[in-house]
Structure 1
Amino acid sequence: MTKFTVAICGGGVGGLACAVALSQYPDIRIDVYEAASKFLKSVVQALGWTGSSQRLPSSPLIIIQVGKANCFISTRGTTAPTYVIELSFNFRKGDQSEGYTFHQLYTPAILLRHLSASSRTYTSKRSSHSPIALRFKDGSTATCDVLIGADGVKSATRRRSSTSLRTPRSLRRAAQPRWSGIYAYRTTIPAEALRSRIPNHTVLREPMAYLGKDTQVTAYPLLHGKIINVAAFRTRYDSEGAPMKEPWVVDTTKDELAADFAGWEPEVQAMFQCTSKLSRWAIHTTERLPTFVSGRVALVGDSAHAAVPFQGAGAGQAIEDAYLLATLLGHPKTTLSTLTRALRIYDAVRRPYAQDVAKTSRECGMLFTLNYPGLSSQDIANGQAADKLRVIAETIRKKWSWAWDTTLDGDIQRAVRELEAS
């Protein structure tokens, strides 16, 4: 017997993680609606630079797998994850003619299992109307008892929830995405192309984080070292929050990239020269929302707390949202008549932590680009680089430490206790 229906808008990591977690409860019907014509193409194998997803308790919920023909997700036949200590990044000062590595960051990491599937999924479904009674742009309709907005930083669920109710103008403004003041150039390059230029380039074997004033480059090998993923960031913090009139994502050229990274060391320039297709992304975040819940509507992942990517925590945080929310919805005390109580508990327990992670992600971005308050780039220019860079590395490590020093178990236990006491 079905006690209620949950509709999930968004088929990314957060939405599929919600479906995975809820599929443990046979009395909940799950419908997943995705705006794109198909779900994620590749299996997510590892989430985050810092292993943030290791905060998940040992349970059947580990990670999602997307099948060849559609989204297939389930919780059966899985085992607990394996933990290892591994190199997260080599930190290197790169915005000069001759760069140098000044720190190696080792952190606990998680090796995630694959899952396969079981809930109803729909593609090409972009919501165009109010929550609960859903109407999609293709003209179809649906209804649900609970709506989970997992539709990203541009979330229509967040926007409609704020405009359809009698909410203050400040809340409606907060529902709009906000430019972080950061552009990210993103590309992948063939490892062989880079090897032909610099045969012993470190990034062919290990992940690299290059630091520079107002600029930063992250690069690491993928697919068993066959390709190198490159993200080059240009910050303009004086424009943070400014209206973004141009498209968020545009194709661009090596010349634009070279202009923003003029004077950087040869091994970074060699990566740039290997690019064939390059895009520039205007990184947007969400305001610090006063709530993740409105009636029977709940937000998860980037819909609720999109952050800049300098902790690599986005996917892990979305999965944590999903796991806690599913635990409350699946609890025997949660029925059709007590749904709003369960959602309020989710908001009270989860929101402060997720928003703190978003805050420290911004702070890490300022550290990576030598903009952190109290840090003088003039000191580095005057020959005090070693001491200052050690301070930066240690501060980054401390700001990442929440990922391996805390767990989600305590939050789940607190939420369940509050639910059972109601």
Structure 2
Amino acid sequence: MKNNKPGLRIGIIGGGISGVALALELCRYSHLQVQLFECAPAFGEVGAGVSFGPNAVRAIVGLGLGEAYLQVADRTSEPWEDVWFEWRRGRDASYLGATIAPGVGQSSVHRADFLDALVNHLPKGIAQFRKRATQVEQKGGEVQVLFADGTEHRCDLLIGADGIKSALRSHVLEGQGLAPQVPRFSGTCAYRGMVDSLHLREAYRAQGIDEHLVDVPQMYLGLDGHILTFPVRNGRLINVVAFISDRSEPKPNWPADAPWVRDVSQREMLDAFAGWGDAARTLLECIPAPTLWALHDLAELPGYVHGRVVLIGDAAHAMLPHQGAGAAQGLEDAYFLARLLGDTQVDADNLAELLEAYDDLRRPRACRVQRTSRATGELYEFRDPVVGANEHLLGENLATRFDWLWSHDLDADLAEARARLGWENGSRGVLRQG
């Protein structure tokens, strides 16, 4: 029977990984009209390497992006292919344990490479650039978004994928009678750099340091600091992030006029890690021009939806990177919405109920990931109130700490959402022709 209902018009604000991944899936369906708006003059990702756990890889595959991901992703080589990280003392690189992610291991990619791979599959005409959203209005079941260039866009559903500094978040919260939420500084900064793996191997060899530390992703742990490494770009580069935390203030503040990312000298970075062991110091000495990142996150939001405007990814639940879970939660959001919006049973009459299910089922999980990301950073830096610097408890905790995060059944959440909507099991989405 032919469906004569008018197609839903969907606007997506933000051209990062979550926004583009969602747009790619939604534009495959003939009952949806999709437009994506990016404020920059072209697609581009800030940052370097990003690690994906098993849950993220499942979402990527579920979004039909598995092949594009595999073209640019790195895996730890055999026989360590299931290792997510090995954990070591920062002061002497002694082995503390490992976290195993069976079948996935350390699945990582350069952010820009992954976004480029996605963008290459995006149909022409879907994306518009230099579109900075400035105002949102809802009236009569329609959303109007105004842009800084004086143009506007009208749609049935507006999705905010515009990151931690989201322009749409205030509209959603104010619509719920709540105060705006701005990013909060964590008190932790991260020195970042990319190291040529052959250069690092030579440096370790010269210092008599085990080259196994190059072959397998590592996390070096110390009081109020930790350093991680994992490969990107087919193992040619090693992504290095060295975290240092100032715990002198209970509510740390980052100056409003200070950039979140700036170039720093190698000497500043090395001074921050004075007293760390040879492996850590030699690693950092291979980064001649690091950048310093001030790490911010969001407080847990009481809602991600107002009317026909919904937040996904960092716009909704920006978190600290200590579980490698931020981008993954955005991809889970995209997968959840894509599976429901891609079904031909969706229409203007049940859209509100669909968004309510998204908020009820996605928000508690994302909030838990936010909370545990902060707590995991405390654990790494010997500040967990139970574990502290007890190496035995630390190894036990890290061996299983991420199981709940990685094993979550997103399809079970979708099944519950479909039951709430009164939809039959199985998607009835229709692929776009041509």
Given the alignment, which residue of 283, 293, 310 partners 2:305? 293
For residues 80-99 of structure 1, give each alpha carbon's deviation from its aligned partner in whole angstroms, at most 9, with x where no partner exists: xxxx96111111101x2x33
Q: 1:376 to 1:408 in 2, by over 3 A?
A: closer
Shift of 1:421: 6.7
How far the C-alpha of 1:416 sits from its partner, in A, is 0.8
Residue 6 (structure 1) aligned with residue 16 (structure 2): no
User: What is the rounded CA distance, in whole Å, between the counterparts of 1:414 and 1:405 in structure 2?
Assistant: 17
The reply on whether 1:101 has 2:95 as its aligned counterpart is yes
Indicate how the Cα distance of structure 1 residues 281 and 41 shifts in structure 2: closer, same or farther if over 3 A, else same. Answer: closer
Q: Distance in 1 between matches of 2:244 and 2:237?
A: 23
Contact 1:301 1:318 in 2 (8 A): yes
Size of the alignment, in residue pairs? 386
* 1:207 and 2:240 correspond: no
User: Is 2:361 aligned against 1:355?
Assistant: no
Q: Deviations over 1:214-273 (max 9, x none)?
A: 000001222222211100011234546433212211111112212211101111111211
Deviation, 1:158, is: 0.6
Deviations, residues 300-319 of structure 1 (Å, cap 9, x unaligned): 11111111111111122111
Shift of 1:49: 4.9
Measure, in 1, the Cα distance between the counterparts of 2:101 and 2:392: 17
Alpha-carbon offset, residue 64 of structure 1: 8.4
Indicate the larger mover: 312-321 or 104-113. Answer: 104-113
Encode CA deviations 1:279-336: one digit per residue, 9 max, x unaligned.
1111111111000111111111111111111111112211110111122223333212
Q: Alpha carbons of 1:51 and 1:59: their partners in 2 closer, same or farther (altered >3 Å)?
A: closer
Query: Which residue does 1:144 correspond to in 2?
Result: 155
| Distance in 2, Cα, partners of 1:237 & 1:306 | 21
For 2:14 and 2:169, locate their aligned partners in 1 and report how far apart those are by CA, in whole Å.
12
- 2:56 maps to 53
Retained in 1: the 8 A contact 2:387–2:393? no
Contact 1:328 1:346 in 2 (8 A): no
| Structure 1 residues 219 and 47: alpha-carbon distance in aligned structure 2, compared to 1, 3 A threshold | closer
Question: Which runs of 5 or more structure 1 residues have no equivalent in the other structure?
Answer: 67-83, 378-387
Relative distance call for 1:156 and 1:238 in structure 2 (3 A) is farther
Change (3 A) 1:89 1:147: same
Q: Is residue 217 from structure 1 mapped to residue 263 from structure 2 by the alignment?
A: no
Alpha-carbon distance, 1:204 to partner: 2.4
Which runs of structure 2 are paired with 1:125-144 in the superposition (5 Å)?
125-130=131-136, 132-144=143-155
- Does 1:178 find its partner at 2:184? yes
Separation (CA, whole Å) in 2 of partners of 1:117 and 1:86: 32
How far is 1:60 from its partner? 5.3
Partner of 1:341: 353
- Taking structure 1 as reference, are residues 18 and 228 closer, same or farther at Cα in structure 2, changes over 3 Å only? same
Q: Tell me what 1:86 maps to.
A: 82
Please give the secondary structure, in 1, of the residue aligned with 2:321: coil
Q: Which residue of 2 aligns with 1:277?
A: 289
- Worse-matched range after superposition: 325-334 or 355-364: 325-334
Contact kept, 8 Å, 2:52 with 2:328, in 1: the verdict is: no
Call closer, same or farther: CA 1:192–1:282 in 2, change over 3 Å.
same
Unaligned runs of 5+ in 2: 70-79, 109-113, 138-142, 425-434
Q: Do the aligned partners of 2:88 and 2:219 also contact (CA within 8 Å) in 1?
A: yes
- 2:20 matched to 1:20? no
2:243 partner letter: F
Identity %: 31
317, 325, 328: which is aligned to 2:337? Answer: 325
Q: Which residue of 1 aligns with 2:43?
A: 39
Matched with 1:117 is 122
> What is the aligned counterpart of 2:411 among 409, 412, 419?
409
Shift of 1:37: 1.8
The one-letter code matched in structure 2 to 1:86 is D
- Is 1:256 aligned with 2:268? yes
What residue in structure 1 maps to residue 193 of structure 2?
Answer: 187
Superposition deviation, residue 65 in structure 1: 4.8
Alpha-carbon distance in structure 2 between the residues aligned to 1:207 and 1:398: 17
| Equivalent position of 2:76 in the other structure | none
CA contact (8 A) 2:9 2:155 kept: yes
> Matched residues in 2 for 1:138 and 1:351: separation?
33
Q: Does 1:242 align with 2:230?
A: no
Q: Kindly report which structure 2 residues correspond to 1:349-388, keeping only aligned pairs within 5 A, or say none.
A: 349-377=361-389, 388=390
What secondary structure sits across from 1:130 in the alignment? Answer: strand
The answer as to whether partners of 2:100 and 2:399 remain within 8 angstroms in 1 is no
CA positional deviation for 1:345:
1.1
1:191 Cα offset (Å):
2.1
- 1:103 CA displacement: 1.1
> One-letter code of the match for 1:309?
P
C-alpha spacing 1:166/1:49, structure 2 compared with 1 (3 Å): closer
Q: CA deviation at 1:346?
A: 0.7
Contact 1:10–1:33 (CA<8 Å) still a contact in 2? yes
- Paired amino acid for 1:90: E
TM-score (norm 1): 0.84
* Contact 1:56–1:407 under 8 Å retained in 2: no
Corresponding residue for residue 230 of structure 1: 240
Q: 1:355 Cα deviation (Å)?
A: 0.9
* Letter of the 2:360 counterpart: A
Q: What CA deviation, in whole Å up to 9, does each residue of 1:342-388 have, x standing for no partner?
A: 111110111111111111111211111111012344xxxxxxxxxx2
Q: Structure 1 residues 242 and 395, CA, compared in 2 at 3 Å: closer, same or farther?
A: same
- The residue matched to 1:134 in structure 2 has which SS? strand
Q: 1:418 to 1:51 in 2, by over 3 A?
A: same
Residues 310 and 364 in structure 1, CA contact (< 8 A), matched pair in contact too: yes
CA RMSD of aligned residues (A): 2.7
